[in-house]
Structure 1
Amino acid sequence: MSASAASRPEGSLEEQILSGLDDEQRQVATSLAGPLCVLAGAGTGKTRAITHRIAYGVHSGVYQPQRVLAVTFTARAAAEMRTRLRDLGVGGVQARTFHAAALRQLQFFWPQAVGGPLPGLLDHKASVIAEAARRLRLTTDRAAIRDLAAEIEWAKVSMLTPESYVRRAAGRAAPAGYDQTTVARLYQAYEDVKTDRNIIDFEDVLLITVGILQEDAKVAAAVRDQYRHFVVDEYQDVSPLQQRMLDLWLGDRNELCVVGDASQTIYSFTGATSRHLLEFTKRFPGADVVKLVRDYRSSPQVVQLANSLLAARTRQSSRGGDSWPTPLELIAQRPAGPEPTFTECADDEAEAAQVATRIRGLIDDGVAAAQIAVLFRTNGQSQAYEQALASAGIGYQLRGGERFFQRREVRDAILQLRASSRAAGTEPVPQLVRDVLANLGYTREAPQAGGAVRERWESLAALVGLAEELDAVRGSAAGGVFTMPEFVAELDERAAAQHAPTVQGVTLASLHSAKGLEWDAVFLVGLSEGLMPISFADTDEAVDEERRLLYVGITRARQHLGLSWSLARTPGGRANRKPSRFLDGLRPASSSSVRSVSGQRPARRKQAAPAVCRVCGTLLGSGAERKVGRCHNCPPTYEESTFEALREWRKDTASNASMPAFVIFTDATLVAIAEARPQSLPELSKLAGVGPAKLERYGEDVLRILAAN
């Protein structure tokens, strides 16, 4: 800790900011002068460390908030960082993506550096690439245009012109089957079309801003005067173009803090490189280096598997010229959890079915659907899991599908919330939000219907959950005042950044899109050769990146982790697949817990008798009905005061833990508890929705409330 930190009184605001940080995080937070390199493993609290560093620097008077620029790689991550900084009392700090920061500077300096109006910004390259192909009389389809767009983006972030592309692209896979000379011609035609239309793309935003900063000394001086301290998150993902911009922002100064993990470099195909992170101390001799290795996210079992995956590759590093950097070895801080499971299935359909079955079991044990994810290598694998979850009556959300804030019900909700905020009373914000959204169909209990009705309800429930979460952090529970106008402003900011709240439903996502996220339970599926590693990973470097991608997938899990693969693509198909080479040495010798290695399916489980209402004897249809053992037509048999006492306890517990109330127990589970009135932990454990983890965490509190009521 710095001398200034040691001299602060223990109860000061600065000391409060440092409280709760471990020794290494505190070292990051109190190292206010650059250069600083933070090597942060997955789940080690890197965002917490750097946001507290910024807050400590501002509150101690070392930083001026308007002169700090924090840069990250996704709009969602930037929005999350702004939220955390605001909660720490330093809302004036700029937290942006590289593109957002460059665009803001370009819009401001364009008139004086170039003159005239700024060209229009191109959202998608497809139409322009299609036009460029037509000019060259090239035949393209949607897949070819996608591949060509990705290649042009790589070339531009690598700062290659159409003329220099051919030489540098030698050895790269031919996009859409075109040779490098043809791609270079298309690249030039693409640039010509943009010029004719007076538009620029996202890469141009960085390129033009870099050009202005290089050529105009006054502009460069103005930017360097505005920003004195820089923080770059996910530094292993910077491209040469982004690094060039960062260099120009810095000038000859070294007030820079970078945070990254070379083992999570998974975007090399976009031009990202961990070289800048790994060579940071060469560029800045004497730079402080802090390693964050205490994993607060995952159970020891998950952490051990992640470490073993990287260690298996590290043992191969004796070969000459190997560039595999020594990975950080994570140290688990959470209590022990279940062992990861390895499941071999007969075919893709069987694999999806067993995953859906296991997910149903987790949900019945009290794991929220929003805390479960199915991750795969390619988006084309999602269909089987969509069908399996739908057949099992389990809601899901496809990450990368329709954006949350573009949904009609969400847009309508924000309009009504904005209107109501002008005349909001003194009621807590969550209750006001519930009242407003009730007009749009929100109810405390989820509807029994599925499809569009359920999806609409889940969108509205996500807004209510966000209101509860923010009120717990900023409202009366935190000793502050959280108002309806502030909630609407938060929604507007999140909509601009596409920072969606948590939607109740299992997440289906590609491994790449899962970066930066985490869930209680993760299923890594399709782990067979050809998919993991992917078939076109035909170099040592590409295979290494696939290993890192699987590492990222493993470290998304907090407690439950399932890894699976199938022997055939279709039922009855030829069983010619093999499990991923990355699983060698990780999976038990006999790892076929659901399907035999021969591909023969085991006998089906004996199905349980249909659940019926304990009052009238009718079949129970919904999960909520099965939890309480009573249909919705029969009257409840609990004391209202008992149910309200349980709800009040849940609200307080959720506020103290800064989590939505339904994560503790759903309303249906509270009803089941109030009606059954269990007298012991074994009796409580028999109720649906009360799994072992929740029993251990909340069981004694629940029994105490029941005894008092």
Structure 2
Amino acid sequence: MGAMSTPSADDVLAALDPEQREVALALRGPVRVLAGAGTGKTRAITHRIAYGVHAGVLPARQVLAVTFTARAAGEMRTRLRMLGVPGVQARTFHAAALRQLQFFWPRAVGGELPRLVDHKASLVAEAAARQRLRLDRTGVRDLAAEVEWLKVTMTPRDEYAAAAARAGRVPPDGLDAATVARVVAAYEELKRDRALMDFEDVLVYAVGLLADRPDVARAVREQYAHFVVDEYQDVSPLQQALLDLWVGDRDDVCVVGDPSQTIYSFTGATPEHLLGFTARYPRATEVRLVRDYRSTPQVVGLANALLQRVPASARQTRLRLVAQRPDGPSARFTEHPDDPAEATGVAHAVAALLATGVRASEVAVLFRTNGQSEAVEQALSDAGIPYVLRGGERFFQRREVREAHLLLRGAARAGEGSEGSLPEEARAVLAGTGWDPSSPPGGGAARERWESLQALAALADDLAAAREGATLADLVAELDERAAAQHAPTVEGVTLASLHAAKGLEWDAVFLVGLSEGLLPISYADTPDAVEEERRLLYVGVTRAREHLALSWSLARTPGGRGSRKPSRFLDGLRPAGGSARDGAPAGGGGRTRRAAGPVTCRTCGKTLSDAVARKLGRCADCPSTYDEELYERLREWRREQAQSQSVPAYVVFTDATLTAIAEARPGSSPELARIPGVGRTKLDKYAEDVLALVAGEATVGEHA
């Protein structure tokens, strides 16, 4: 077969549905495309460009397509090459601006362009120190976020206090607005003295150069005459200012976006430019893409229902998606008694999907905050399911968690605080890291740090409730075991991600966890606009799923705790009339809804078990063990051989706790083996014959060989 031929203009149009074709044919004048999730917006705009070039209407080298991530820009370039138009420029705002600066700066300004710094944290820390402020790593990160927000919103430093109040922003680390403004001024002075620029300066300098030098602006406009802007709902005022200077007094600009997917207002993004586009260009062509090719009718129907309750002001631009795929399974709504039970239920459901042939990389578990990942990480590790954490560090790799772990270990060795209870001792140590019982206002890095440390405080509570007389040494041992169990493979694994990090991605199966009041909407979403952004965040999560969708929440944080939580208000009217399943029973499926499981108790002493290992063993870690040590060693040797043959860590086969439980229970049949936590359907099918043979004292299949 010869080389692939270049498609003709007619070929390009033939590949589109009626609405996408309408986008492709709108080649002149302003165009607004409202494109819902999964409706093929990238296909529409790349085919529009290709059609325009092949039809002789758009000169390829005069087209500039801009988007927000390097990944999206790369995908756009790839598609344009396949459509036979490799000469079109597809870049991020920053990449396009930097290229122009590098070309024009030496001749228009003179000298070398300031050096671009990869990270601003060290400069922000130095600027804060010049103001006699001592900030920890988290405070520096939050202060850097304020520096970025001031620039992208084009807010003067002396107006920071009023602008932050209007936007509902809380100055970081307890600083007042005037102090933040002084640090920003010191930061800018440091950069000037050292001929440096940061990521936002790339846009600031480009705007300044184009605004101050008509000759430069004229040269850029001669180069680019036609503009396409993807994800237009996420543009900031600074990006819009740059776009305006690129376009000039012309109107050949096509913008594409979805107001219902605006979830980055905290970074300065605003949908107002997309929403106000037709007011600015009254004769603009508008096309709505609503045919959803990604998700089943069941997923699409839930997404549509979620947006039915948006404010009246948002309904004009709300898109009602129309599913194009065949029917799939109904979405599952599951209520759990507590957070560990929810995480375990999700792990079991994931294992069931994997057993049907769904690839682990086609499954995602999404949550509102990174602090929610620990329970899910633990449950997946206990089930031997590999995972990948996207957009953040694994819980036990987070700096604040590692530091707290070391402090707790040191305090345990020194015997500090032995007069108090474990929760009191743990909180005293955590206070040394800057942790406070009260959560910080607002979001940001400080909030994420607090949530991580609060999870450690909560673990101390759980351990004290489950084991009378528990000490700091017991807590450290628990942390060691949990950390050791979380080195899961990262090549082919279930994706764990925050809802923000999931934007732009999709999977066959999506589990949305922690859907309770205070988590979604988050507790600090205290204005109507903030609450609606939380609704849009859930909408983004729902629309990531192609076929399988599960939504869950728990009534209490810990096993046996008071079930005072309420499901998210966003689920009102979405759950089936028959109610939600509990502990993984299907909702509305005709089967009997199971009662919520009660707390798991130790079979030896009867105390409530909270940590995952103890629940798996069915007894407290310090209660007498009744396992067969010889059998346990045979199981360990067999596991080692299995792990070597499969090139996976040993715990992926079975964790130590599961092997101990098998050695204690000595199952004599597959049903008995299946009742042991950590032995799901997949592992039962794969390992039951060998394990039962080992329990019976017989040789395994491998040993016969």
TM-score of the two chains, using structure 2 as the length reference: 0.69
Partner of residue 514 from structure 1, selected from 483, 502, 509: 502
For residue 548 of structure 1, what is the aligned residue in structure 2?
536
Change (3 A) 1:60 1:402: farther
Structure with larger Rg:
2
Maintained 8 Å contact 2:7/2:84: no
Partner of 1:336: 327
Query: Counterpart of 1:357 in structure 2: which amino acid?
Result: H
In structure 1, distance between residues paired with 2:644 and 2:235: 46
Structure 1 position 380 matched with structure 2 position 342: no
Maintained 8 Å contact 1:366/1:688: no
Map Cα deviations across residues 348-402 of structure 1 (whole Å, 9 max, x no partner). 2111111111111111111111111111111121122222112212111111258
State the Cα distance separating 1:167 from its structure 2 match.
Answer: 3.1
Partner of 2:404: none
Q: 1:191-221: per-residue Cα shift (whole Å, max 9, x none)? A: 1122222211111110110000001011101
Which amino acid in 1 is paired with 2:194? R
What aligned pairs does 1:220-369 form with structure 2 within 5 A after superposition? 220-314=217-311, 317=312, 325-369=316-360
Q: Distance in 1 between matches of 2:384 and 2:277?
A: 51
User: In 2, distance between residues paired with 1:137 and 1:84?
Assistant: 52
Q: Is 1:371 aligned to 2:362, yes or no?
A: yes
Alpha carbons 1:342, 1:564 under 8 Å: kept: yes
Cα deviation digits, residues 107-161 of structure 1 (max 9, x gap): 1111012111111112122111111111111232222222221122111111112
The alignment status of 1:188 with 2:170, answered yes or no, reads: no
Q: Which residue of 2 aligns with 1:175?
A: 171
Aligned residues: 509
Amino acid corresponding to residue 545 of structure 2 in structure 1? A
CA distance in 1, matches of 2:28, 2:314: 31
For residues 306 and 595 of structure 2, what CA distance do their matches in structure 1 show?
23
Seq. identity, %: 65
Distance of 1:581 and 1:166 partners within structure 2: 32
Structure 1 unaligned spans of 5+:
1-10, 404-449, 459-503, 606-617, 626-686, 690-709
Summarize the alignment of residues 123-142 of structure 1 with structure 2, pairs less than 5 Å apart: 123-142=118-137
Task: Establish whether residue 558 from structure 1 lines up as the match of residue 554 from structure 2.
Answer: no
- Counterpart selection for 2:108 from 110, 113, 119: 113
The DSSP-based 3-state class of the residue aligned with 1:170 is helix
Alignment-derived partner of residue 573 in structure 1: 561
| In structure 2, distance between residues paired with 1:537 and 1:371 | 31
Distance in structure 2 (CA, Å) of the matches to 1:187 and 1:516: 32
Q: Structure 1 residues 453 and 517, CA, compared in 2 at 3 Å: closer, same or farther?
A: closer
Letter of the 1:561 counterpart: L
Separation in 1, partners of 2:644, 2:261: 39
The 1:272–1:624 alpha-carbon spacing in structure 2 relative to 1, beyond 3 Å, is: farther
Could you tell me which residue of structure 1 aligns to residue 17 of structure 2? 22
In structure 2, the partner of 1:34 is 29
Letter in 1 for 2:359: A
Sort the Cα spacing of 1:167 and 1:313 in 2 relative to 1 into closer, same or farther, 3 A. closer
1:592 counterpart residue number: 581
Q: CA RMSD in A?
A: 2.8
Q: Which residue of 2 aligns with 1:658?
A: none
Partner of 1:217: 214
Letter of the structure 1 residue corresponding to residue 89 of structure 2: Q
1:665 aligned residue? none
Cα deviation code 1:606-625 (max 9, x no counterpart) = xxxxxxxxxxxx99958999
Deviations 1:258-306 (A, max 9, x none): 0001111111111111111111111111111000001111111111111
In the superposition, relative to structure 1, how do residues 194 and 574 fare at CA in structure 2: closer, same or farther (>3 Å)?
A: farther
Mapped contact 2:582–2:596 kept (Cα < 8 A): no
Question: Is the 1:344–1:597 contact (alpha carbons within 8 Å) kept by the matching residues of 2?
Answer: no
Counterpart CA distance in 1 for 2:317 and 2:85 is: 36
1:63 lines up with 2:58 in the alignment: yes
Q: Is the 8 A contact 1:170 1:180 kept in 2?
A: no
Amino acid at match of 1:174: V
Task: Please name the residue that 1:100 is paired with.
Answer: 95
> What is the CA-CA distance between 1:599 and the residue it aligns to?
6.2
Give the unaligned 5+ runs of structure 2.
Answer: 1-5, 395-484, 585-593, 602-614, 617-637, 647-683, 687-705
Residues 1:397 and 2:394 aligned together: no
Residues 217-261 of structure 1, C-alpha deviations (whole Å, 9 max, x = no match):
111011001111100000011111100100000011111010001
Q: Give the Cα separation in 1 of the matches to 2:568 and 2:91.
A: 38
1:534 aligned partner: 522
Tell me the CA shift for residue 598 of structure 1: 6.0
Cα pair distance change 1:688/1:67, threshold 3 Å: farther
- How far 1:511 sits from its partner (Å)? 0.5
SS of the residue aligned with 1:513? coil
Greater mean alpha carbon deviation, residues 144-153 or residues 336-345: 144-153
User: Counterpart of 1:375 in 2: which secondary structure?
Assistant: strand
* Contact preservation (8 Å) 1:262, 1:325: no
Q: CA offset at residue 597 of structure 1? A: 7.5
SS in 1 for 2:555: strand
Which amino acid in structure 2 is aligned with residue 575 of structure 1?
G
Q: Distance in 2 between matches of 1:571 and 1:451?
A: 22
Cα gap change, 1:453/1:519 in structure 2, threshold over 3 Å: closer, same or farther? closer
**Matched letter for residue 173 of structure 1:** R
User: Using the alignment, how far apart are the partners of 2:186 and 2:538 within structure 1?
Assistant: 38
Equivalent residue number for residue 659 of structure 1: none
Q: What is the CA deviation profile of residues 378-433 of structure 1, one whole-angstrom value per residue up to 9, with x for unaligned ones?
A: 11211222221122121111112589xxxxxxxxxxxxxxxxxxxxxxxxxxxxxx
Distance 2:276 2:644 in 1: 54
- Of 73, 78, 81 in structure 2, the residue corresponding to residue 83 of structure 1 is 78
